[in-house]
Amino acid sequence: MKHSGRVLQIARSLVAAAAFLISCARAPAQNPDPQPATAQTAPPAIPNAAPDEITAVPNRPTFSSTAETVQSGVFEIEYGFEIADGHQNINGLLKFGITKNLEIRFGNNPFERDHGVGGVGDSGAGFKYKIARQKGWRPTISVLYAATIPTAHDELGAGALGHSAGILVSKDFGKHHFDFNETAQWLGRRGASGFDRDYFTALAYTRPIKGKWGASFEIAGFSRANLTTPATMTLMGGPTYSVSSRLVLDTGIYIAAYGNLPRVTFFSGLTYSVGDLYHRHGRPMKTTP
């Protein structure tokens, strides 16, 4: 009953937030900007950029992931850090676009410190596959799979292999961009067989503010996994700055609404598209006589 109550509480909060944000977006959506923001978690750096230009697709700074994938052939990195009472880390994510719809990814926390214990954090590997592109009323829809690799010190990480699979939905209403995630996690049990399971639900809202500045907000939460891992919920907000179409900076705070989390966590980081390994972007298209 406690588990169901927590999930219901998260769901009600998300529905309320969605209703509020969509009501704010409804008026601008009726008269959309002639050059709406692209479907990613940060506003485009150059509104009139060439269609073959490399453009970063940040998953940062939110816990949720956009349904958009990295461009085909593009290698992209995301790195940042978190600082809170009793908790600090450096976190990273490497992404590569195998095709226009398939992105592979590898994540790792090269440093983590919790309550005085420091070291390398856990790692993760997986993929994102786009099954539908935004068109008219239809949002962009992708599936995401990730495996947790227990590379951390016992006191810092999960201590066992885990898996997660989820649905990602993204939609633009003029300049207003929304990302919704629903994910199931199978958490390996330290020193025992089998898995515990929890669910991750998140709703993120992003919009440009002025020039290269933008803002991101999110409400996200995990349901209870077991008797020792209660449900959590966080509220996030912060600005983003697009240095160029390939480099996006972010900063802000997470606030713990409930759960065993630091009350306030400060974060900052960047997303950078390193380059096109297929060597196609930025080159003139070949034509046949």
Task: Give CA–CA dist 224/269, Å, rounded.
Answer: 29
pLDDT one-digit tens code per residue, 192-243: 888 999 999 999 999 999 999 999 999 999 999 988 889 999 999 999 999 9
Q: Which domains does the chain have, with CATH numbers?
A: 2-31+47-274 (2.40.160.40)
Q: With a cut of 80, say whether residue 51 has pLDDT above it.
A: no
Answer yes or no: are the C-beta atoms of 276 and 73 closer than 8 Å. Answer: yes
Answer yes or no: are the C-beta atoms of 222 and 198 closer than 8 Å. Answer: yes
Answer yes or no: are the C-beta atoms of 227 and 212 closer than 8 Å. Answer: no
The more confidently predicted of residues 147 and 40 is 147
How far is CA 51 from its chain centroid?
Answer: 24
pLDDT band at 33 (very low <50, low <70, confident <90, very high): very low
**Radius of gyration, alpha carbons of the chain:** 19
pLDDT band at 279 (very low <50, low <70, confident <90, very high): confident
pLDDT one-digit tens code per residue, 66-110: 999 999 999 999 999 999 999 999 999 999 999 999 999 999 999
pLDDT band at 161 (very low <50, low <70, confident <90, very high): very high
How far is CA 183 from its chain centroid?
Answer: 12
pLDDT score at 74: 97
Query: If DSSP codes are grouped into helix, strand and coil, which group holds residue 159?
Result: coil
pLDDT score at 281: 66
User: In the chain, which ranges are continuous DSSP H helix?
Assistant: 2-30
Amino acid at site 275: G
Enter the DSSP assignment of 29. Answer: H
Enter the DSSP assignment of 76. Answer: E
How far is CA 19 from its chain centroid?
Answer: 21
Task: Please give the sequence-ordered ranges of beta strands (E in DSSP) within 35-188, or none if there are none.
Answer: 74-84, 87-97, 102-114, 117-119, 123-132, 140-149, 162-173, 176-188
Answer yes or no: are the C-beta atoms of 53 and 72 closer than 8 Å. Answer: no
**What is the model's pTM?**
0.79
Beta bridge mates, 144: 128, 166
Structure tokens at 246: 């390939």
